[in-house]
Structure 1
């Protein structure tokens, strides 16, 4: 039997055509393309960072207490001098009081800088977790959890906005899936005390460095003491805020109401 078309070669197809008459084979079917899978997001426990922040905030509070005590000592020394017209003024005691006050100020700067670095790292961590919990309530992108602190004047407002979104997303959900409202009192107290302390410290520091007369120095030292006390209060509220928000995120993650995976912090077993 020959090809039904050319009658020269044996057929190889079902319709009786030879290999040449049938033509080249069509392209092989492409394998099915798998659907695009978005990169998986993870929760990262903020507990370790939170503990470090709490310890550093405690060091800030201790430095503030030391500064208040040093300020009281400065006022005592100057007050004694004013009472007797500096007739029996002890220069060595005055120098020691000034050195103690300056040392307390240096300690405040060092503890505050260290705390700020670790606090911002923790703040970014909880912001990324909030993106997993509920990105719809975040007013700004995750990068602003760091950048907002370095924008002049706006850093008095923007971090609080970001914190509000984190707080809302981290609140537990009720059994029916709706979000439970958690009062933000501790967050508002922390932010209000911190802003007031920041603004007051800039003003009182200028007054202290401009003071020349003993009475002016005493008055400026009193203002600085009040500012240090306010900073101590802000540190206490910051500790409460960090602990509360960290606990909220742990409770929210334990619900398992989200489809994403919890990844342990680096260094921990999976």
Structure 2
């Protein structure tokens, strides 16, 4: 059969036009592109470092007992810093969770809305965030080299411990020497949790970056 367009070349089998005249079907990606977590990861680590520094200052204040005004200013500054850090951290976590779906959607058992909601819904906020991070962690691990969970588990244990200390110790010992040491323990646990969270962010960000550079699983945006 002769091509219906140029009338000079044999048409492709099953088509009315030849290979030269047939329209080229544009490539459509099979799914959403990867987006680099590097910038958000770096910003999150910086914010967590500031939180840790704030905890260190708070430990000093717990023991030194500065003026009431200085103590109040420190509490306000810590609160504002925690809120800002939470916003940046959740943006980073949303990014790595979306990338994890690109790497291995079947391993992500929870809806993406839980990336944020899991931190605020009572009861489930004691394990949902850890599960989301672990699933993204596993999906981002290099092929043939599964990543262990010890680092994530230590981070989450320290975070839960700091929450419990804040809710229990601060209420039980709010004055005197016992109250001062309760504050020291709470702030120290929060400092450890912030430090371990920063390491988790660095590790997971690096794993995703390296896995994206291993090969074109899907079209990716520029990483770095």
Answer whether TM exceeds 0.5 for this pair.
yes
Are the equivalent residues in 1 in contact too, given 2:155–2:197 (CA < 8 A)? yes
Residue 65 (structure 1) aligns with: 56
Cα offset, 1:99, TM superposition: 2.6
| More divergent stretch after superposition (143-152 vs 51-60) | 143-152
Normalised by the length of structure 1, the TM-score is: 0.69
Tell whether the 8 Å contact from 1:139 to 1:161 is kept in structure 2 after alignment: no
Quote the offset at 1:104 in angstroms.
2.1
1:183 Cα shift?
1.1
Aligned residues: 202
Aligned to 1:124: 94
Q: Is 1:231 aligned to 2:190, yes or no?
A: yes
What SS does the aligned partner of 1:150 have? coil
* 8 Å contact kept, 1:73–1:97: no
Query: Alpha carbon RMSD of aligned pairs, Å?
Result: 2.3
Which residue pairs with 1:52 in the alignment? 43
Tell whether 2:181 aligns with 1:222: yes
**What is the distance in 1 between the residues matched to 2:120 and 2:82?**
15
Alignment of 1:254 with 2:213, yes or no, is yes
What secondary structure, in the 3-state scheme, does the structure 1 residue paired with 2:60 have? helix
- Whether the 8 Å CA contact 1:70–1:97 is kept in 2: the answer is no
- Alignment map for 1:1-270 (pairs within 5 Å): 40-74=31-65, 96-174=66-144, 180-208=145-173, 211=174, 216-256=175-215, 258=217, 260-264=218-222
Between 1 and 2, higher relative CO (CA 8 Å, sep ≥ 6) is seen in: 2
Runs of 4+ in 1 over 4 A off after TM superposition: none
TM, length-normalised to structure 2: 0.83
Q: Determine the C-alpha separation between the residues in 1 that align with 2:125 and 2:186.
A: 20
- Give the distance between the partners of 1:100 and 1:247, measured in 2 at CA: 39
Larger Rg: 1
Taking a change above 3 Å as real, the CA distance of residues 38 and 244 of structure 1, as seen in their structure-2 partners, is closer
Gaps of 5+ in 2: 1-24
